[in-house]
Amino acid sequence: MKYGFSSLLGPGLVGALLLGSGCLMPSEDAMAGDGTGAIKDGIGFPRISAKLSHGDATCLLSADQNEVLCDAPVQAGEVMQASVDIEWGARSEGVIVVSPSCSGPFVDPVDDGSAYQDAWHAPLVNDMACEVTIEAFSLEGPFATAKMYYSVVDGQPPGEVYSAVNLDHTSGFCALLTGDVSEDCSPVRAGEIALVYVDMDWGNHEPGSIAVGDDCGGTFTTTLSNGAGSLALEWKVPATPTTCTLALKAITTAGERHVFELNVPVS
């Protein structure tokens, strides 16, 4: 969660922004006066170390650096992983914010206060200069900023889009496995409420949108949505026997359309 400065800065620590460093400096009476930028109580600012990984390449930022230029270029669409560690010293653990300047969606970030992990797809645009900004805010007020710079070059082909679709109903269970595009299911009871679960694998495509529907007049109620990554729905099955095709439509940001189907008899 990002906090505003008003909720992070303790008494006496509101000061001027140190230009060029990204660090908010405390008021003059809180400074040590030795020219080092240390806080008067000797605790100092949080220290950031980080690792940026993609393919077989790794870029490291040490706690003694506030910026680094990564040597190995990133392929367009490649999955990138960031690991961040914060040395809070005697200060209270606060908030870690990781902000790529150009990226696809994030994947299941993990933040335990002192360490942060995340992953995202590099953009599909070639010849782009990008950066990752890492900010560590302690609850007492001081914060530290570090940047990692990298370039995106002509990348790997987008590849396939996959989906796993599960249908859970009173008479059984039906699953469309990753890599398949259609599946024949056992009958469901007319008028019952079945459960539908969707998990997407967009490959190297920029995720777009997903939608679930049928061709037999059933109705759907969304119970859980994680953007374009996963979906859970209740399906009100038609009240009379028929044959339904339950379809998942996935569309990338480039407009590419992918359809996955469950063929479901209603009895």
Based on the domain organization, do 25 and 76 belong to the same domain? yes
Domain around 91: 5-153
Distance between CA atoms of 209 and 19, rounded to whole angstroms? Answer: 41
> Would you state the pLDDT for residue 43?
57
**Domain tally, the chain:** 2
- pLDDT, greater one: 42 or 225: 225
Asked whether the beta carbons of 245 and 214 are under 8 A apart, the reply is yes
Q: Which two tokens stand for residue 238?
A: 């038609």
> Would you state the pLDDT for residue 248?
94
Report which residue type is found at 205: H
> Would you state the pLDDT for residue 240?
95
- pLDDT, greater one: 8 or 202: 202
> Would you state the pLDDT for residue 46?
87
Domain boundary residue, one of 117, 133, 153: 153
**Pairing label, strands 257-266, 182-184:** parallel
Q: Which two tokens stand for residue 240?
A: 């009379």
> Would you state the pLDDT for residue 179?
80
Ramachandran sector of residue 189 (left: φ over 0; alpha: ψ -120 to 50; beta: rest): beta
> Would you state the pLDDT for residue 99?
87
Per-residue burial over 50-83, b = 16 or more CB atoms within 10 Å of its CB, e = otherwise: bebebeebebebeeeebebebeebbbbbbbbebb
> Would you state the pLDDT for residue 178?
76
Based on the domain organization, do 148 and 173 belong to the same domain? no
Closest-CA residue to 227 (of 209, 246, 211):
209
Domain boundary residue, one of 123, 153, 183: 153
> Would you state the pLDDT for residue 30?
29
Asked whether the beta carbons of 168 and 233 are under 8 A apart, the reply is no
Based on the domain organization, do 148 and 170 belong to the same domain? no
Position 239 pLDDT exceeds 90: yes
Of 4-8, 139-143, 195-199, which range is least confident? 4-8
> Would you state the pLDDT for residue 84?
93
Distance between CA atoms of 86 and 137, rounded to whole angstroms? Answer: 10
The dihedrals phi and psi of 131, each to the nearest 5 degrees, come to: -150, 155
Based on the domain organization, do 46 and 71 belong to the same domain? yes
Based on the domain organization, do 116 and 193 belong to the same domain? no
Domain boundary residue, one of 153, 173, 195: 153
Based on the domain organization, do 108 and 169 belong to the same domain? no
Q: What is the mean pLDDT of residues 77-81?
A: 81
Q: What is the mean pLDDT of residues 76-103?
A: 85
Based on the domain organization, do 190 and 87 belong to the same domain? no
- pLDDT, greater one: 206 or 130: 130
Q: Which two tokens stand for residue 168?
A: 């859970």
245-267 confidence digits (pLDDT tens):
999 999 888 788 889 999 999 99
Based on the domain organization, do 189 and 130 belong to the same domain? no
49 confidence band (pLDDT: 50, 70, 90): very high
Based on the domain organization, do 33 and 147 belong to the same domain? yes
Count CB atoms within 10 A of the CB of residue 217.
12
Based on the domain organization, do 179 and 147 belong to the same domain? no
Based on the domain organization, do 108 and 180 belong to the same domain? no
Highest mean pLDDT among 104-113, 144-153, 234-243 belongs to 234-243
Based on the domain organization, do 64 and 193 belong to the same domain? no
17-35 confidence digits (pLDDT tens):
222 233 333 333 322 223 2
Token match 């040590």: residue? 32
CATH classification at residue 206: 2.60.40.10
196-235 confidence digits (pLDDT tens):
999 988 877 778 899 999 999 999 999 998 888 889 999 9
